[in-house]
Chains A and B, each alone.
Chain A
Amino acid sequence: MSQGPSQHLPTVGKSVPRADGTPKVIGTARYVDDLPAMPGELHGATVRSPVPRGILKSIRFDPNFDWSDITIVTAEDVPLNTVALIAEDQPVLAARHINHAYEPIVLLACADKRRVLLAKNAVSLDIEALPTVLDVHESLKNTHTVWGTDNIQKRYLITKGRADTEDSVSAIDAVLAECEVRVSGSYSSHHQEQLYIEPQGVVAWWDESGVHATGSLQCPFYVHKAFLKTFGEQPSRIHITQAVTGGGFGGKEEYPSIIALHAALLSKKSGKPVRMIYDRKEDIEATTKRHPAFCEIETGCDKDGKLRAIKMRVLMDGGAYLTLTPVVLSRGALHASGAYEWEHARIEALALATNTPPNGAFRGFGAPQTIWAIERHIDKVAAVLGMDPLELKRKNILKLGSVTATGQVLHTSVAGVECLEKARAVSEYDRRRKAYSEKQGRIARGIGAAVFMHGAGFTGSGERYLKGKAAVDLLPGGRLRIRTASTDIGQGTETVFRQIVSDAAQVPLSDVDFAVPCTTHVPDSGPTVASRTVMVVGSIVEAAAREVGDRVRKEQQASGGTFAEAADRLLAREGEVTSLLQYSPPSYIQWDDQHYRGDAYPCFAWACFIAEVEVDRETFEVTVTNFWSATDVGRAINPTQCRGQIEGGALQAIGWALFEELVWDKGIIKNPRMTNYIVPTALDAPPFHTVLVEEPFSFGPGGGAKGIGELPMDGGAPAVAAAVEHALGIPMDDLPLTPERLFARSASGAQT
């Protein structure tokens, strides 16, 4: 046992092994489907709409099927038929109006897993089909109104400089007209499926203490809120627990509320525990995906490359219901002008409804879509100016003291230039860019860069409203226990939190426990999203650990003995020794939600990603041959895990750019399987050369950590596209860059 500060070896900054590593590798970790069957347990299944829009006329249950052991739940059985989130537009089960394919209509449960599948086939739906709206352009026309009065789910307007006036369109047009060089373009990005390894799943049951749900999820308190609304139970009678979770990437932020409500409804009606586990097909079809986006940009600059003004319109496809779309759109809009300083800006962002499954949270949360657009656009400006794109970015990048499009003055932890220069040097960008610009053979090489930043934590005053809490308890023997609703979904929260607590309380890492996130036992730390876990919740945990550690040491100083002995004395005397703290955001943050102006984020993490590719000019297969990055994380609590986040996120972005494509046919997904929704394998991963830059954020834990979860998803696609564009000499403005699409855009494809 530690005697005091002098003997504590710091763990922050060390790549200690993951706490969850061994059980996951040897197979003892219990994911939700591994949990032992409860007595009398039933298997749940969902009957979904086969059409994207229509009126449900009737549900027919085949009279020749034996329904005696099947529990049936329809909209009539739902106490309050809405999924509590931002709006209340989404029903738990569709009652009459069907707004997207795969919308849930009937729930079934049976002890026999095979019989429940047969029962599904014995349900037929009589649906009168209605005209559909399947993309943002159709939605904007509002020929068919499928949401609200005009299909517009949310709109934001950000203005700066001369555009910050009533008639912002005329004003920005006037500024653009005065600019020496004007460039315009449009850039589109597509759906992306999270494809976490473990599909969605939950087990729910009711007993004398209320309703319970244990599942694969990111945000137990979201599910708690949904149960509160739908079942009208007392908060203390709702118990939501996170099981070991095999990946989320945002896909298990809001969706688990729905599958958990479904299981709990079946359990309520049958009086038995119900297990619902989606297979891959159902998961890809029914759950949320990344919002497709269409961005139009017009910019003005000086002949020497000094950027002056930007006019941008972002259209995001929200899908059939609002879910988290306003927040995704917000983050997209706030990152739309990129890592560059503009004197004048007008950014308009609209989310539009379509008859497709609701799009939702996905790593990056709207920012990858707008950063895709702005990075491609700046590369286009460089081409028009005849400048090197990275040089143009270097010239205009936000620095300490710069003012963002929302008027935020960057006064702390700004490392854009440093990341750019480090990545540029380590990749030998200038030499390669020049070399690959020479005439090429069948295998063409190219190199391209993306420079970007990502706001850490909730937008604007979000953290102030949220009041996230976390606790550290003292346990017998001087052990500490972290209690937080921040979940480890594979990203390493548990390990990093234990490191932070170990150092803050100055106890050995092995003396720190991490409580299973269960709404009954942990405080609401806010959701596990927005790159906020380490920076925000980590700082609460750090303060709480420091407080508990100090109390024990004070006792130690007063009455002697080891840390453990002092802890036991304290516990014997006080019964319970806990520090439960609430987050207080840096006081300088000022945010005007009305006008979307002010400090959008407490700070930003910065990065420069550089991709090198080889393109087969006959088959159009793209191979990423090298991937360099320099990323400012504030402080790397666990450098190996930090690199893992960066490289994993970059690979996910490479997948989005080169491989992944949902194939739609009239609102139906044609490739809902891992064999045909193509994500990169380990063999498709390039060699990663990852440089960590540490520009501390004084309010971050462990000496200045910032958020890192989402940032790496932002820059991979534009960097790869820039490299492919460099290799082929064909504009790459639309994702994805599959060989078929490159072929169609190429001369040889055009001739066919």
Chain B
Amino acid sequence: MAITDLELHSFVRLPTIADVLQTLADRHAASQKTVVLAGGTDWVVEQEMAPPHKPGAELPMVVDISRLSDLQTIHLNGNLLTIGAAATYLQLRRHPHIGMGDKRAALLARMAQDLGALQIQARGTLGGNLATGSPAADGVAALMAYDASVVLQSVRGERTVPITEFQTGYKKSVRAPDEIITQFQISLPTHYNWYWRKVGTRRAQAISKVALAGVAVVESGQIQRIGLGMASVAPVTAALRNTRSYLCSAPLHKLTGAELDAAVNSDCSPIDDVRSTRQYRAHCARVVVREFARSLGAPV
């Protein structure tokens, strides 16, 4: 293990987002590597598993953005929920519009409650977990269900990318090396049904075998708007596009389990690994989607 190498890195905390962006830009221009740390619940674990650092080789500089308060704010303006990229899962659980109070975005709090355990929830962030790109990230599945927008910033300016277009492959994304994720924007429906189900290895400190986040607006017996995000069934968080289309394609009472299963199958490509099997994951993917559809009134 190379956890001993941690002390070799230079760690910096900078006072403002502007300073962070300038540093990233300068280092990128000089072909120097930089790691942006926003909690460390993925990156530190990856270091522990990495081979020992060879003397002389360049180590990335670590820029910790987890203490930048501008990146931690969460606010609701009308129906627009804005979540700072470095807001922790514990903040989500305790926020008056998410886990407490009017619970307008209760799905996020419910997801956060199942994530890791309290210690991880206090450190881990939505932005960090999206940036590191694990397809098992529960938080990313939840953002996908809300069809969140990802706001990226660099010295070159700001841009907004739909969450479904952010990941481009296993641990790959559209984020440029000089960019950081600053916030997520979620347009909350006034009334909606939500669903969260994590099939994990145990009740805490579990990495999902399958997790489904769902958001649906149902009117007159038909789904008008649906958002889905599924963890651990594909190289990236699965948006389940075919499943979404199928669920919106007809009144709920006309949906069938067999067709729904077929749509889910076409959206997933799970694998065998030490945590679970391809067959079990595919089965659970179908089970949880059916459960969500049933909760909306579909006879599946």
A659 interface neighbour in B202, B274, B277, Cβ under 8 Å: B202
Residue in B52, B206, B275, B277 whose CB lies within 8 Å of A118: B52
Min Cβ gap A537→B in Å is 36
Say whether B283 contacts A749, CB under 8 Å: yes
Contact A684 B1 (CB under 8 A): no
Which residues of chain B have C-beta atoms less than 8 A from A748's C-beta?
A: 283
In the assembled complex, which residues on chain B have CB atoms less than 8 Å from the CB atom of A678? 201-202, 206
Q: Is A676 an interface residue (CB 8 A)?
A: yes
- The reply on A671 being an interface residue by CB < 8 A is yes
By a CB distance below 8 angstroms, the chain A residues around B205 are: 675, 681
Cα separation A33 to B54 with both chains bound (whole Å): 25
Q: How far is the CA of A118 from the CA of B52 in the complex (A)?
A: 6
Contacts of B51 in A (CB 8 A): 121
Distance (Å) between the CB of B251 and the closest chain A CB? 25
The 7 closest A-B pairs by CB, nearest first: A683-B203, A671-B274, A117-B52, A618-B287, A681-B204, A740-B280, A683-B204
Contact B283 A752 (CB under 8 A): yes
Q: List 27 A-B contacts (CB under 8 A).
A: A113-B4, A114-B4, A114-B8, A114-B52, A118-B55, A121-B51, A121-B52, A281-B1, A670-B274, A675-B45, A675-B205, A675-B207, A676-B207, A678-B202, A681-B205, A682-B204, A683-B203, A684-B204, A740-B276, A740-B277, A743-B279, A743-B280, A744-B277, A744-B280, A749-B279, A749-B283, A752-B279
Alpha-carbon distance A281/B2, docked complex (angstroms): 12
B residues near A87, Cβ cutoff 8 Å? none
Does A138 sit within 8 A of B, measured CB to CB?
A: no
Q: A735-752: which have CB < 8 Å to B?
A: 739-740, 743-744, 748-749, 752
Q: Are B55 and A684 in contact (CB under 8 A)?
A: no
Contacts of B53 in A (CB 8 A): 114
Per-residue A-contact encoding for B276-294, CB less than 8 Å = 1, 0 else: 1101101110011001000
Contact, CB under 8 Å: B4 / A117:
yes
Restricting to A627-679, which residues have a CB under 8 Å from any CB of B? 659, 663, 670-671, 675-676, 678
Q: Please report the C-alpha to C-alpha distance between residue A681 and residue B282 in the assembled complex, in whole angstroms.
A: 26
CA distance A683 to B5 in the complex (A): 33
Are B2 and A117 closer than 8 Å at their CB atoms?
yes
The reply to whether the CB of A619 lies closer than 8 angstroms to some CB of chain B is yes
Q: Give residues 582-631 of A contacting B (CB, 8 Å).
A: 618-619, 621
Contact with A along B40-54 (1 / 0, CB 8 A): 000001000001111
Min Cβ gap B204→A in Å is 4
Residues in A256-308 with C-beta less than 8 Å from chain B? 279, 281
Contact of B161 with A by CB under 8 A: no
Assess whether A114 is in contact with B5, with CB atoms less than 8 Å apart: yes
Q: Which of A118, A618, A680, A744 has a CB less than 8 Å from the CB of B202? A: A680
- Please measure, in the bound complex, the distance between the C-alpha atom of A279 and the C-alpha atom of B8, giving whole angstroms: 20
Interface string of A676-701 (1 = CB under 8 A from B): 10101111100000000000000000
Q: Determine which of A279, A663, A684, A752 lies in contact with B203 in the assembled complex, contact meaning CB atoms within 8 Å.
A: A684
From B45, which residue of chain A is reached at the shortest CB distance? Answer: A675
Instruction: Give chain A nearest CB distance to B71 CB in angstroms.
Output: 27
Q: In this assembly, does B199 line the interface, its C-beta being within 8 Å of a C-beta of chain A?
A: yes
Residues in chain A near residue B14, CB distance under 8 A: none
Interchain CA distance A170-B2 in the complex, whole Å:
61
Contact, CB under 8 Å: B280 / A739: yes
Residues of A within 8 Å of B45, CB to CB, are 675
Would you call A118 and B54 a contact (CB within 8 A)? yes
In the complex, the number of residue pairs spanning A and B with C-beta atoms less than 8 Å apart equals 70
- Residues of A with C-beta under 8 A to B1: 117, 279, 281
Chain B residues with CB under 8 A of A117: 1-2, 4, 52
Q: Which of A114-165 contact B (CB under 8 A)?
A: 114, 117-118, 121
- Inter-chain contacts of B280 with A (CB < 8 A): 739-740, 743-744, 749
CA separation between A281 and B288, bound complex, in Å? 34
| Smallest CB separation, B112 vs chain A (Å) | 15
- With a cutoff of 8 Å between Cβ atoms, the chain B residues found around residue A671 in the complex are 274
Contacts of A683 in B (CB 8 A): 202-204
B258 at the interface (CB under 8 A from A): no
- Which B-chain residue is minimally distant from A282 (CB atoms)? B1
**Residue numbers in B under 8 Å from A682 (CB-CB):** 204
Complex contacts, B276 vs chain A, CB 8 Å: 740
Closest to A680 in B: B202
CA gap between A114 and B288 in the complex, in Å: 46
State the Cβ distance, A14 to closest chain B Cβ, in Å: 34
Q: Which residue of chain A has the shortest Cβ distance to B54 in the bound complex?
A: A118
B272 CB to closest chain A CB (Å) equals: 10
With the chains together, A205 CA to B291 CA distance in Å? Answer: 62
CA distance A675 to B274 in the complex (A): 10
**CB neighbours of A681 from chain B (8 A):** 117, 202-205
Binary per-residue interface labels of chain B (201-239) against chain A in the complex, 1 for a CB within 8 Å, 0 otherwise = 111111100000000000000000000000000000000
Q: How far is the CA of A670 from the CA of B273 in the complex (A)?
A: 9
Residue from the set B45, B202, B291 with the largest chain A CB neighbour count within 10 Å: B202
B1-40 residues with Cβ-Cβ distance < 8 A to A are 1-2, 4-5, 8
A749 and B52 CA atoms in complex are apart in Å by: 43
Q: Please, which residue of chain B has its CB at the minimum distance from the CB of A663? A: B274
Assuming A676-B274, A748-B283, is B202 touching A619 (CB within 8 A)?
no
New A-B pairs, 20, CB < 8 Å, besides A659-B202, A678-B201, A680-B202: A113-B4, A114-B4, A114-B52, A117-B4, A121-B52, A279-B1, A281-B1, A618-B287, A618-B291, A619-B199, A619-B288, A670-B274, A675-B205, A676-B274, A681-B202, A684-B204, A743-B280, A744-B277, A749-B279, A749-B280
**Assembly CA distance A748 to B284 (angstroms):** 11
Q: Which residues of B contact A118 (CB under 8 A)?
A: 52, 54-55
A566 CB, nearest partner CB in chain B, Å: 54
Q: Give A113 Cβ to nearest chain B Cβ, in Å.
A: 5
Q: How far is the CA of A414 from the CA of B277 in the complex (A)?
A: 46
Residues of A within 8 A of B204 (CB): 681-684
- A752–B207 Cα distance when bound, in Å, is 24
Per the 8 Å Cβ criterion, residues 248-300 of B in contact with A are 274-277, 279-280, 282-284, 287-288, 291
Residue numbers in B under 8 Å from A676 (CB-CB): 201, 207, 274-275
- What is the bound-complex CA distance between A670 and B272, given in angstroms? 12
Residue of A nearest to B51 (CB): A121
Answer whether A684 and B274 are a contact pair too, CB < 8 Å, given A114-B53, A117-B4: no
A621 with B54, Cβ < 8 A, contacts A670-B274, A681-B204, A749-B283 known: no
Q: Return the contact of B284 from the options A619, A659, A744 (Cβ within 8 A).
A: A619
Query: For residue B55, which residues in chain A have a CB less than 8 angstroms away from its CB?
Result: 118
What's the nearest-Cβ distance from chain B to residue A467, in Å?
44
Q: Contact flags (1/0) for A83-120 with B, using CB distance below 8 Å? A: 00000000000000000000000000000011001100
Residues of B within 8 A of A618 (CB): 287, 291
* B290 (CB) vs chain A CBs: closest residue: A618
Q: How far is the CA of A673 from the CA of B209 in the complex (A)?
A: 17
Complex CA distance for A681 and B205, rounded to whole angstroms: 8
Give A521 to B252 CA distance when docked, in angstroms.
Answer: 78
Which residues on A sit within 8 Å (CB–CB) of B117?
681
Q: Determine how close the nearest CB of chain B comes to the CB of A627; give it in whole angstroms.
A: 15
List of A residues within 8 angstroms of B206 by Cβ: 678
A279 to B49, CA, bound (A): 11
State in angstroms the CA–CA spacing of A420 and B54 once bound together.
62
Residue in B closest to A662 when the chains form the complex, CB atoms: B274
Residue in B closest to A621 when the chains form the complex, CB atoms = B199
Min distance, Cβ A628 to any Cβ of chain B, angstroms: 21
Interchain nearest-CB distance for A363 vs B (Å): 20
**Complex Cα–Cα for A671 and B272 (A):** 13
Across the interface, name the chain A residue whose C-beta is closest to B7. A114
Return chain A residues, CB-CB under 8 Å to B203: 681, 683-684
Which B residues are in CB contact (< 8 Å) with A659? 201-202
Closest to B202 in A: A684
Whole-angstrom distance between the Cβ of B202 and the nearest chain A Cβ: 5
Quick one: given A118-B52, A281-B1, are A743 and B283 in contact (CB under 8 Å)?
Answer: yes
Could you say which residues of chain A place their CB within 8 Å of the CB of B207?
675-676
Chain B nearest CB from A119 CB (Å) reads 10
Q: Which of A708-752 contact B (CB under 8 A)?
A: 739-740, 743-744, 748-749, 752
